[in-house]
Amino acid sequence: MAHADAWLHDQAALTFQRLSALVRVADNAPARAALERLEQHFVTIFTNLHDVYGEHYDFFYHLLQIVQVALDAAADRPDELRELDQKRIAAPDWFQSEQMMGGVCYVDLFAGNLAGIREHIPYFHELGLTYLHLMPLYQAPQPHNDGGYAVSSFREVHPPLGTMDELASLARDLRANGISLVLDFVFNHTADEHEWAQRALAGEKTYQDYYWMFPNRTLPDQYEANLREIFPDQAPGSFTWRSEIARWVWTTFHPFQWDLNYANPEVFAAMLREMLFLANQGAEVLRLDAVPFIWKEVGTNCENLPQAHTIIRAFNALIRVAAPALLFKSEAIVHPRDVRSYIGADKCQISYNPIMMVALWDALATRETHFFAHAMNKQFALDAGSSWVNYLRSHDDIGWGFADEDAAELGINGFDHRRFLNSFYTGTFPGSFATGLPFNFNPRTLDMRISGTMASLAGLEQAESSGDNLLIELAVRRLLLLYSVVLSAGGIPLIYLGDEVGTSNDYSYVDDPAKADDSRWAHRPPRSLPRYAQRNDAATSAGRIFQGLQSMIQARQRTTAFRAGMTHFYALDNRHVLAFTRHERVLVLANFSEHSQQVNINGIMSATPLIDLLTETQFVSDALVTMMPYQTLWLTPDA
């Protein structure tokens, strides 16, 4: 192995000499800087591309084309973004700061269009956001497009939302206000309306090779024997017959989403070109959608294969050449060990944290925190140069993707526990406060996922319907409890906008034929004008949630101990209370019960007096702390 590695390094050095004489590079300072970065990262680029494409007879030709794409993008990069590149190179840990605070929304549902998003920049400041993820806003088929994740063109904004020039202008305005723009990059597939797919349908062999296509069912049947169905209700199976070309097309998600063939180096080059186009519009983070699915191999489940990681490392290294300010965010809703495998400075620097999200909803339903602490102690720590994006829900459904082996270590049967959680969060379990909706029940596996806004899942919808002030109070406390954990645990907290004022499910989706069979639209409601108007009125639930969250964000941004890294979780004698420390300077306690609890913090935080960063209340204690229902404390020694 060492001999092979040495040979590859030697080959990389020789190849760089040949290649640098062939690439087109302008004679100016930015071009020379890009060429220097290419030399710095070339071994990584060469070795990873060689791993997946080295068997191609024309490997050097494709390598040259790919490198030229990166250098051309570097040449086209606006000066202001080159300045940002230098700033990020000088402070590569910028995204790990306690100042980071994320929000995510659909442009049309939150603000109508891109001009509306610009008008809300003062609101984003009011809330404390430094990171804004605009959900897929590209040209897409109508009306069926999987919430925008079927992309017809990465270079065109969906016309009702605005134009690509407007998006670039918005990115500048956000950046001037200290807010990083985050965009989706749909990594695994395109829409069947994309130019590449249309040219494939017209019979062009070059573009048919951009996708996985088969003349009969022989190979699809061999692949499908090991594949899981992602949307068994809406889109059963993984292949779609297209009579225009008499081919079966690989469609993991929906018939109108065609899987790209990354075994073809031309696809890699083409997707790099689209990726860098978006970087040059001002995106600072690209969310790589569905990364586990990008490599296919017969006899496997075609998820999380080694080549998927190799391809991401190659893209990452090329980004360091062309747009060093850009980060990748991984979207991998798979087994916890596989989620973690995509995260790292050389792959995706940040990643959604579905492990914490699931553990939080589990603790809220069970009122017990030992599983949370156990799972986090095994799964939460990351290597340097990377960070979690901690969230409570997204545009997508909630699937109970905890590791069965982690649950078994605590005597929990994973299958049975998932059935309990599904029952609890759809409101069918006796005493449940939740009003979630089932999503994609699979009668063969009994698997199911859950749809619902935070307010609906945490009991506010049910409480407000009843008019019971005590139930409303408890629901508000649950919401703030959940936020307190994602804000303090370490990483980038992310709010699905609308949740910060307690917006409930929107059931009108059933009246739209394009959405009626997809319960996820219930938790993608339009911005609630009445609830946002109430955000400064502490007598309303919207005001209580917003002001409580805003206060926590401000406390977080004042406290350097909340930057990423150094989190330790504890299993206390009191199973209702979650405890963890941050950089050994802050102790976070969270009571997941609707009853008062006492907890002994002896041996965790021995200094006294302590002060609660949330209320600035001083605690002089003999190590026994009394907590109110659903209360959170952020305790630190009172200097």
Catalytic (active-site) positions: 289, 331
Q: Are 382 and 340 in contact (CB under 8 A)?
A: yes
**Nearest in space to 109 (alpha carbons), one of 468, 422, 503:** 503
Query: Which residues, other chains included, contact 162 with Cβ-Cβ below 8 Å and sequence gap of 6+?
Result: 113, 114, 115
Q: Could you give the CA distance from residue 228 to residue 304 in angstroms, rounded to a whole number?
A: 13
Q: Could you give the CA distance from residue 469 to residue 311 in angstroms, rounded to a whole number?
A: 54
**Nearest in space to 533 (alpha carbons), one of 563, 503, 505:** 503
Residue 88: helix, strand or coil by DSSP? Answer: helix
Q: Could you give the CA distance from residue 239 to residue 234 in angstroms, rounded to a whole number?
A: 13
Q: Could you give the CA distance from residue 499 to residue 532 in angstroms, rounded to a whole number?
A: 10
Q: Could you give the CA distance from residue 500 to residue 521 in angstroms, rounded to a whole number?
A: 18
Q: Could you give the CA distance from residue 344 to residue 348 in angstroms, rounded to a whole number?
A: 6
- Kindly state the tokens that stand for 285: 């983070």
- Kindly state the tokens that stand for 170: 């918005």
Query: Which residues, other chains included, contact 150 with Cβ-Cβ below 8 Å and sequence gap of 6+?
Result: 140, 141, 144, 186, 189, 190, 191, 192, 193, 254, 256, 257
**C-alpha 284, offset from chain centre:** 14
Neighbours of 349 (CB within 10 A): 23
φ, ψ dihedrals at 382, nearest 5°:
-125, 160
**C-alpha 304, offset from chain centre:** 17
Q: Could you give the CA distance from residue 268 to residue 295 in angstroms, rounded to a whole number?
A: 12
Q: Could you give the CA distance from residue 24 to residue 27 in angstroms, rounded to a whole number?
A: 10
Report CA-CA distances (Å) from 60 to 65, 70, 73, 313.
Answer: 9, 16, 20, 19
* Residue listed under structure tokens 């019971």: 468
Instruction: Give, for 182, the enclosing helix (H) or strand (E).
Output: strand 180-186
Residues 30, 33, 39, CA angle at the centre, nearest 5°?
145
Q: Are 104 and 494 in contact (CB under 8 A)?
A: yes
Residue 241: helix, strand or coil by DSSP? Answer: strand
Instruction: Give, for 460, the enclosing helix (H) or strand (E).
Output: helix 460-466
3-state helix vs strand vs coil in the chain, percent to 5: 45, 20, 40
Look up residue 599 and give its amino acid.
V
